Copies of this chain bind each other. A is one copy, B any other.
Amino acid sequence: MKDTTLKELAETLGISVTTVSKALKGYADVSPKTREAVLKLAEELHFTPNAFAVNLRKQESKTIGVIIPEIVHHFFSKVLNGILDEAAKHGYLAIVLQSGESVELERKQVDLLINKRVDGILISLSNDSNDEAHLKEIIRRNIPLVQFDKISKLIPSTKVVINDRQAAFEATEHLILKGCRKIAHIRGPVNPQGAIDRWMGYKLALEKHGITYNPKLVYTCTHVTFEEGREFAKQILTDHPDVEGIFAITDLVAVGVISYFNENGFKVPDNVALIGFSNWFMSQVITPQLSSIDQPGEEMGALAFNCLLEEIEARKANKPYDLKTISLTTSVVERQSSQFKGK
């Protein structure tokens, strides 16, 4: 059973394909009588224009590609949610791919999207993306591109990010304002820009409040897991039993810290104040509830899509457009874990 085509409609009505097409698209130069006949028959036969043909003819598919490191990830799934909803509003569909934090895979996914001839690409880079050849290829091919969250500064494109340094500054300052002076930082891996920026924000906050930075209070994750949180909690307790506050790179790590402290009778927030990062769902349901930094994931996704759409439409109309970098503001979400009691 084949799909109905314009040609079939035309033949059964005894008119030309052209007229059928025009009737369906509301052109003015088709009489009301034939228009209605066409519409009626099209309805009856469940006609829908063949998307393949339309794509070929119009050289566009109303489809974008999205590449993220991991889909099973609270933040990225929220961003994706924002992208999908906003895309739907504007009649766009999204092909979703994950790079699994591997550059080779990321490059492969980019190639796939280029070959598919998507109308545009949204990408958040994998952690070890040192090579940008594939991104350059996107630009060479003149495909609209917007980077979000984890970006490459070397690639000229619109970017939607959060200000990691500022956010980390506020997180640390929050602990300071709660009365902490000796504050440890469990930071992210060495390379990713985000981890570096947050670490710098931490230092800046200490500096502003006259606390000397002590590198021994900084612990570096390699995998940013729950288990690492537990391990570093133990380590901190032996290295610095008098620690007053901890700023963890991520809620997951912070939850690991809580878990270890809970088991070992070290009280959060009575003995030590704690703040995480991302405002992951779990931070509301753990005991004690975890203070955190809210990253507006859906907003980031929606904004990234809108920037991409702007670029797509500008190019189609042969209009110029500006590459911008949008920095979303984060906010401290104050919960129980940071209500430091002092000594």
Residues in chain A within 8 A of chain B (CB atoms): 1, 3, 46, 48-53, 55-56, 59, 61, 63, 71-74, 77-78, 80-81, 84-85, 88, 93-98, 112, 114-117, 140-142, 226, 252, 255-256, 259, 262-263, 282, 284-287
Q: Indicate if the CB atoms of A116 and B93 lie closer than 8 Å.
A: yes
A244 to chain B, nearest CB (A): 23
- Contact pick for A77, options B77, B117, B282, CB 8 Å: B77
Known pairs A53-B56, A72-B74, A93-B97 / 17 extra A-B pairs, C-beta < 8 Å: A46-B140, A46-B141, A48-B115, A52-B59, A52-B117, A63-B95, A71-B80, A77-B77, A84-B98, A85-B98, A93-B95, A95-B95, A95-B96, A226-B285, A255-B285, A259-B285, A259-B287
Q: With A94-B95, A287-B263 known to touch, is A1 a contact of B114 (CB < 8 Å)?
A: no
Q: Indicate if the CB atoms of B287 and A50 lie closer than 8 Å.
A: no
A248 to chain B, nearest CB (A): 13
Q: Indicate if the CB atoms of B63 and A56 lie closer than 8 Å.
A: no
Q: Closest chain B residue to A78 by CB distance?
A: B72
* Residues of B contacting A226 in the complex (Cβ-Cβ under 8 angstroms): 284-285
User: Max chain B CB contacts within 10 Å: which of A3, A55, A140?
Assistant: A55
A286 to chain B, nearest CB (A): 6
* Residues of B contacting A94 in the complex (Cβ-Cβ under 8 angstroms): 95-96
- Contact pick for A81, options B46, B98, B112, B141, CB 8 Å: B98
Q: Indicate if the CB atoms of B71 and A81 lie closer than 8 Å.
A: yes
What are 14 A-to-B residue pairs whose CB atoms are below 8 Å?
Answer: A3-B141, A49-B115, A50-B117, A51-B115, A52-B52, A52-B56, A52-B61, A73-B77, A93-B95, A94-B96, A96-B96, A226-B285, A285-B286, A286-B286
- Contact pick for A84, options B71, B116, B255, CB 8 Å: B71
Bound CA–CA A55/B59 (angstroms):
13
